Amino acid sequence: MKPLSYRSIFISDVHLGTRDCRAEFLVDFLESTQCETLYLVGDIIDLWAMRRSVHWPPAHTRVLQLLFEKAAAGCDVIYIPGNHDELMRDFVGTEFNGVRILRDAEHVTHDGRRFFVSHGDEFDTFVRHNGLLRVVGDGIYPVLLAANRWFNGLRRRFGRPYWSLSSFIKSKVGNARRYMDKYEAAVARSASSQEYDGHICGHIHKAGIVSRDGILYCNDGDWVEHCTALVEDLDGRLQLLHWADHKRIEQVNEGMDVEAALIPLMALSVKR
């Protein structure tokens, strides 16, 4: 199958080295797409979690191989470390196997819009609850992810597609929803103050494209609970790709503020 072509792709919160990383989906995504610029927007390798234990199956190694292969083939691969791989911030300004390591970046879309790109953990201090994990509880979140693994293992046995139980539970927690809303607002205010058209980030494991007072907040999501990526097509339009058993696109309707459209990608299939 011919790869899907994009001008730019943004992924974050992969958390390689942990049991909850959905690396097999990311391998399929990277093998099925090509782009001019690939942004790795933080928390690619979970160095925090790897201090306690390391889970590194072959699919995790394959993800790194594909990233280096893309860089060698001419793709501009930019790595912006997050809080879980913050040790890599010591190497900002250097290049490794063709991958450039930056603290943050400015991205200009094909249609001329300017976006600031960062992992997004810097905005935790502007939100009263100071972090989503504190909202749902540092001890509860790993339990949610473990329940997510068990639940989807059971669904696979019955031929059912992947579905994020942990994300569903978080969506029902009022404090978590309020945190996410305040987080989006803080990110949008920062972009506005710097006269950007928008901000692209990750960090909170909730993908979305939201217009706030003319500023476009774009979160590329994660590869732990949702398997999502933000992509820019060759005309400069931004879309969210949901790369799980049932794939779909959430895209901006440029004629309105933000309109979510679900488009089945029936021609695509996840490798088992």
Give the domain ranges of the chain: 4-121+198-251
Q: pLDDT band at 2, cuts 50/70/90?
A: confident
* 38 or 159, which is more confident: 38
Kindly report, residue by residue over 181-219, the tens digit of the pLDDT.
888 999 999 999 999 999 999 998 889 999 998 999 999
Q: Give the model confidence (pLDDT) of 218-258 as tens digits.
A: 999 999 988 999 999 999 999 999 997 545 555 444 433 33
The dihedral region occupied by 226, where left means phi > 0, alpha psi between -120 and 50, and beta the remainder, is: alpha
Cα-atom radius of gyration of the chain, to the nearest Å? 18
Topology of domain 4-121+198-251 in CATH is Purple Acid Phosphatase; chain A, domain 2 (3.60.21)
Give yes or no for a contact between 118 and 89, defined as CB atoms under 8 angstroms apart.
Answer: no
From 73, 99, 34, 61, select the one nearest 229 (Cα to Cα). 34
pTM over 0.95: no
- The answer to whether residue 150 scores a pLDDT higher than 50 is yes
Whether residue 250 contacts residue 242, with contact meaning beta carbons closer than 8 Å, is answered with: yes
Query: How many C-beta neighbours within 10 Å does residue 29 have?
Result: 24
The candidate with the shortest Cα–Cα distance to 39, out of 119, 120, 95, 123, is 119
